Amino acid sequence: MGTVTFDGVGKVFPDGTHAVTDLGLEVADGEFLVLVGPSGCGKTTALRMVAGLETITRGEIRIADKVVNDLEPRRRDIAMVFQNYALYPHMTVAQNIGFGLKMHGFTKSEVERRVNEIAAVLDLGDLLARKPRALSGGQRQRVAMGRAIVRNPAVFLMDEPLSNLDAKLRVQMRAEISRIQRELRTTTIYVTHDQIEAMTMGDRVVVMRKGRLQQVDVPQVLYDHPANLFVASFIGSPSMNLFQGEVAAGGMLQVGTQRLALPRDGVFARELATQAGRLVAVGVRPEWIVPASSGDDRPRLRGTVVMTEALGFEVLVHVEIDAAPVVTSETIEVALDVDAAALADLEAERSKQRTMIVARFPAGSPVRAGETIELGLDLSHAQAFDLESGLALGAG
Amino acid sequence: MTLRFAGRTISYVVLLLIAAVALAPFLVLLIISFKARIDVLEVPPTLHFDWSTISENYRIVMHDDGFITYIKNSLIVTFASTALALAIGVPAAYAFSRLEFRGRDNWASTILSFRFMPPVAVAIPIFLMIQYIGLTDSYLGLILPYIAFSLPLVVWIMIGFFDEIPREIDDAAMVDGCTRVGLLFRVMLPLVRPGILVSAIFGQIFIWNEFLVGLYIINSQDRGTIPIGASSLLTTESPVDWNIAAAVGILTVIPMLIFSLLVQRWIVRGITAGTVR
Amino acid sequence: MTSATAAPRRGAREKRLASPTQRRGEAFFLLGPCVLYLVVFSIYPLVVSLIRSFQDYDTRKNSWRWIGTDNYSQLFSSSDFWSIVEHTLVFSVAGVFIQVTLGTALALFFNQRLRGSAIVRGLLILPMLITPVVVGLMWRALLNPEWGLVNWVFIKLGFHNIGWLSDPGTALRTLIMVDVWQWTPFVFVIVYARLQALPQDVFEASAVDGANWWRRTRYITLPLLLPAILFAAVFRGIDAFRTFDLVFGLTNGGPVQATSTLSYEAFQNGFKYQHYGYASAISYVMLIVAAIGVTVLFKVVNVRREDVS
């Protein structure tokens, strides 16, 4: 039984940094759980506490209902895949994979049998006699996987195992790890920085920020109903469009100088009904913004096209609208995690009090930079957030 | 073009000059060791050698002066001291590189600072200690202080080598089922083999050459290492038998010379360990 | 260090001792032998030396007598002692200065690609591996007043016969020269390694900018090499300060103490004249100076670490 329980887990480093604070989480047997968040959010520390590589300052971690706080890593029945693979450079592939078995007292023939078995599964048969030095990045990654799988542990722990691979290989390995996990049904905790990995691989995804759990749910719920501004802006690519709007009387939303009619019913309308006269953060995913056409009755928003990116199957249209941007500690942190330029963009938006939003248009849409267009917003899929707390309105 | 050629020529002249300065003392010593006692006084020395003189000089040194015994003693003392210093120093360096404990950096600095301790400051107490436990004139009497002298160097160099190995490897080994100590022996030692080699070389050079402490611990010719045994031959104000003294010098240098040519790369690594990463 | 940061630190430590990856026994097992060994064979002798430096040894009765700071006051009021301090300092500072200058010059010289230079680089390592006693022997042969090769060359070149080791005014300079011969390669190896490790694009960029060799060296190479040079200088400085065996092998401190260093003086007093207490006092003066040097050295090493990252 490979359940893992975090019970009020906290980690304070000797320098006083609170890496993880009051983490409570239940990982079901056989579940693939992904921890995701920007660097420094505590996801890796949380994983290393499960592994026994980091001391638990507060609370308890239980594996299969047994408290493991003071157990050495080797007694926890776990296996781990490391970011830089951590293959033993002086051992062959076969020795690398078999090392853990050997340490756990398996006979030589048993080790050999299981190594060969795993090598076949991972297509490493021809490489068994090689040293890690002579392997490509993808091959090393597979050896690291093999080393974890061969032990048949109660829990797999994976610390950004794909971050050192190139984009193409990463997609391939993503699928392969998912496949293997589905076949083995071994409880897996997977740490990543990449929200696409999180969304595509996890049964459930945990979003963390500054050592605290933000939201844990199945990927689709995370995407459709982010619990707060941080999750909203972190999950999704391109990310959710956020801008400020004032809830006006008569079921209207004031966005800059424009006035949008709110849908008559639906969650979004109900959420806003309680906020009359207040400024809120409005979040609309790019796919719910379409070219306005004469036939539909969607609320319309005017803006200037700044740039278009043709991706073949669709066009990403960047439009600058007359609306105050949402600049909170959450959105700043996410921008900072992208790069310094993203942060500068956010600052520029704030000073101009205009917001750049992205819309997904069908391929071949006749849009050119510089022109003014009308966008149709599908507000029934929109989200509203409290600007101060950052929490989704109507949530809880 | 000609300017460049001239530059090259000057460079080569300088190169030759550097080689000459580095080697001249060795060559002069070698030449003297090939001469009969009286011919040493020729200036400049002729390059006329006589095989019987050469063999006679070296025979005297090897047999009459017991040089073979010194070599044997040097080998025993050097290898034993180095091996023990490594056995004690390598685990300590690993602990300094990986474990966290109170005052770790202060402990490390203290141990390293012993590398710079003037040997004179401890020579007398150590001498009296060895005398007290009755180990004068024994191999152990030399080995015990020599371990202490080479330990700081071993720890210094090895910390550098352990620091170069990613901690992920330790983590992986512990998840795979090793204890700290187990992984040091099973995983780390093979990985820091170059470091062990480098620190062994430096320990050996130091011990091979040491004689301040040894001079007083060893009184009997039977237990003297090369520098100790030969010091009376080498250091008298002006030796009467320059040719014999030179032969002693050459025989002292040659093992070091061969050794250094074999391990040159590692010597450079050792000197730069902890400085240039 | 506020109490706010100190509090979790202490809590974390208590936990850490029972950490899953680190057990109390392991640290003792790994470090114990080394610490114990150094306590017995380095720290204990140092403490004994300290005590002895306040005592006087009676050779006839084979007993120790407490005399307070007499050894030290005798030391500090002795003009011999101060002249030896002066020799030691001149030897260390002048010697290291020359070694650093020459060593850096050598490193720059070997930085150009010359066929065969690798062999010469290899030969350069030899001097520092040789027993100082033999180094002394070699140079006593080379500098012999009657048949030494060096004087022969000097006379051929029209100079006077120089009493390299016999003239009290020259002997210290000779000692420095031989130390330079033996230890310049050490500085060279460190500086050269650093030079090789420097990113090449900096030099290429400055060459493209039109800087000539001297300007490149002066404004780019040397500043980048400075940490390595500094390290080598301090390292060598401490070693030179405690030099004993070269003096023993080359000059025996003479003529008339012209080349006696502190180490040699302590050795003479301790082993030859059995003035153990007095010798210990000298060692302790040295030890304090060396400790200051080591502190500086570790500062330099730390600066280097930050530099790299």
Nearest to B208, CA basis, from B267, B256, B245, B246: B256
CA dihedral B10, B16, B18, B24 (to 10 degrees): -150
Q: Is residue C131 classed as helix, strand or coil in its secondary structure? A: coil
Q: What pLDDT sits at residue B239? A: 60
Q: What pLDDT sits at residue A80? A: 94
Adjacency order of strands within the sheet including A383-386: A258-261, A252-255, A241-248, A279-284, A383-386
Q: Tell me: pLDDT of C14 over 70.
A: no
- Contact (CB<8Å) C9/A16: yes
H/E stretch holding A135 reads none
Q: Does C272 touch chain A (CB under 8 A)?
A: no
Q: Which residues of A touch B169 (CB under 8 A)?
A: 86, 88
Lowest pLDDT segment from A88-92, A336-340, B39-43, C126-130: B39-43
Q: What pLDDT sits at residue C21? A: 64
Max avg pLDDT among A18-32, B22-36, C112-126: A18-32
What's the mean pLDDT when you consider all of chain A? 91
Q: What pLDDT sits at residue B1? A: 54
Provide the 8-state DSSP code for A75: G
User: Each residue of B91-108: pLDDT tens digit?
Assistant: 999 999 988 877 888 888
Lowest pLDDT segment from B226-235, B239-248, C9-18, C71-80: C9-18
Q: Does B174 touch chain A (CB under 8 A)?
A: yes
Q: Are B176 and A103 in contact (CB under 8 A)?
A: yes
- Interacting residues of B81 by C-beta distance below 8 A, sequence separation 6+: B142, B143, B146, B147, B150, B203, B207
Q: Tell me: pLDDT of C6 over 50.
A: no
Q: What pLDDT sits at residue C296? A: 85
Cα of B95 to nearest chain C Cα, Å: 6
Q: Which of B100, B169, B190 sits opposite A86 (nearest CB)?
A: B169
State if pTM tops 0.90: no
Provide the 8-state DSSP code for A73: G
| Residue located via tokens 């001469």 | B35
- Contact (CB<8Å) B211/C279: no
Identity of residue C77: S
Residue B215 sits at φ, ψ, to 5 deg, of -55, -35
Q: Would you say the C-alpha torsion A110, A114, A120, A124 has a positive or negative sign?
A: negative
How much of chain B, in percent, has pLDDT values that exceed 90?
Answer: 27
Q: How far apart are CA B101 and CA C103, in angstroms?
A: 40
* The residue count for chain C: 309
Q: How far apart are CA A160 and CA A39, in angstroms?
A: 11
Provide the 8-state DSSP code for B46: P
Q: What pLDDT sits at residue A197? A: 92
Name the CATH topology of B68-272. MetI-like fold (1.10.3720)
Q: Does C16 touch chain A (CB under 8 A)?
A: yes
Q: A238: cis peptide before it, omega within 30°?
A: yes
DSSP states of A313-381: SEEEEEEEESS-B---HHHHHHHHHH-HHHHHHHHHHHHHT-EEEEEEEETT----TT-EEEEEE-GGG
- Contact (CB<8Å) B234/C136: yes
H/E stretch holding A10 reads strand A4-12
- Contact (CB<8Å) A78/B175: yes
Q: Would you say the C-alpha torsion A294, A297, A303, A306 has a positive or negative sign?
A: negative
Q: Which of B174, B178, B191 sits opposite A89 (nearest CB)?
A: B191
How much of chain A, in percent, has pLDDT values that exceed 90?
Answer: 67
Q: What pLDDT sits at residue B277? A: 36
Q: Are C250 and C178 in contact (CB under 8 A)?
A: yes
- Contact (CB<8Å) A52/C15: no
Chains that contact C by 3+ CB pairs under 8 Å? Answer: A, B
User: Each residue of A100-149: pLDDT tens digit?
Assistant: 999 999 999 999 999 999 999 898 989 999 999 999 999 999 999 999 99
Structure tokens at B68: 């073979």
- Contact (CB<8Å) B171/A89: no
The CATH architecture of the domain made up of A4-229 is 3-Layer(aba) Sandwich (3.40)
Q: How far apart are CA C224 and CA C192, in angstroms?
A: 12
Residue A383 sits at φ, ψ, to 5 deg, of -125, 150
Search chain A and give the residue with CA nearest B191.
Answer: A90
Q: List C-alpha distances in Å: B114 to B204, B207, C51.
A: 17, 16, 19
Task: Give the residue extent of every domain in chain B.
Answer: 2-61, 68-272
| Residue located via tokens 């790890």 | A177
Within 13 Å of residue A138, how many CA atoms lie on the same side as its CB?
14
- Contact (CB<8Å) B173/A88: yes
User: Each residue of C204-226: pLDDT tens digit?
Assistant: 777 777 778 788 888 888 888 88
Q: Are A102 and A122 in contact (CB under 8 A)?
A: no
Task: Give the residue extent of every domain in chain C.
Answer: 74-308
Q: Is residue A282 classed as helix, strand or coil in its secondary structure? A: strand
User: Each residue of A363-382: pLDDT tens digit?
Assistant: 888 888 999 999 999 888 88
E strands of C103-226, at which residues?
none
User: Each residue of A147-193: pLDDT tens digit?
Assistant: 999 999 999 999 999 998 998 999 999 999 999 999 999 999 999 99
Nearest to B177, CA basis, from C39, C264, A103: A103
Structure tokens at A206: 């945990």
The residue-averaged pLDDT of B37-64 equals 80
Structure tokens at B246: 């030179």
- Contact (CB<8Å) B176/A84: no
Q: What pLDDT sits at residue A29? A: 95
Q: Would you say the C-alpha torsion A58, A61, A66, A68 has a positive or negative sign?
A: negative
Q: How far apart are CA A162 and CA A173, in angstroms?
A: 7
Q: What pLDDT sits at residue C198? A: 82
| Cα–Cα–Cα angle for C271, C273, C274, rounded to 5 degrees | 60
Lowest pLDDT segment from A161-165, B145-149, C302-306: C302-306
The residue-averaged pLDDT of C248-272 equals 85
Q: Which residues of B touch C298 (CB under 8 A)?
A: 109, 112-113
Structure tokens at A323: 């609306």
Q: Does B172 touch chain A (CB under 8 A)?
A: yes
Search chain C and give the residue with CA nearest B9.
Answer: C114
Q: Which of B166, B176, B187 sits opposite A84 (nearest CB)?
A: B166
Q: What pLDDT sits at residue B45? A: 74
Radius of gyration of chain C (CA): 25
Lowest pLDDT segment from A336-350, B17-31, C14-28, C178-192: C14-28
Among A47, A55, A75, which would you mutate to test the C interface (most chain C Cβ atoms within 10 Å of its Cβ)?
A55
Q: How far apart are CA A323 and CA A258, in angstroms?
A: 9
Residue B81 sits at φ, ψ, to 5 deg, of -65, -45
What is the pLDDT confidence band of residue B236, given thresholds at 50, 70 and 90?
A: low
Q: Does B178 touch chain A (CB under 8 A)?
A: yes
| Residue located via tokens 């060994």 | C37
Best CATH choice for the domain C74-308 from the list 2.60.40.420, 3.20.20.140, 1.10.3720.10, 3.40.50.2000? 1.10.3720.10
DSSP H helices, A52-122, are 93-103, 108-122
- Contact (CB<8Å) B191/A73: no
ipTM attached to this prediction: 0.85
What is the pLDDT confidence band of residue C2, given thresholds at 50, 70 and 90?
A: very low
Task: Give the residue extent of every domain in chain A.
Answer: 4-229, 235-386
Q: List C-alpha distances in Å: B115 to A90, A268, C42, C284, C297.
A: 32, 73, 11, 16, 12
Among B27, B47, B120, B133, which would you mutate to test the C interface (most chain C Cβ atoms within 10 Å of its Cβ)?
B120
Numbered residues of chain A with Cβ closer than 8 Å to any chain B Cβ = 14, 48, 51-53, 72-74, 78-80, 82-90, 99-100, 103-104, 147, 151, 157
Q: What pLDDT sits at residue C306? A: 41
Name the CATH topology of A235-386. OB fold (Dihydrolipoamide Acetyltransferase, E2P) (2.40.50)
Nearest to A42, CA basis, from A11, A69, A82, A16: A11
Structure tokens at A377: 């917003």
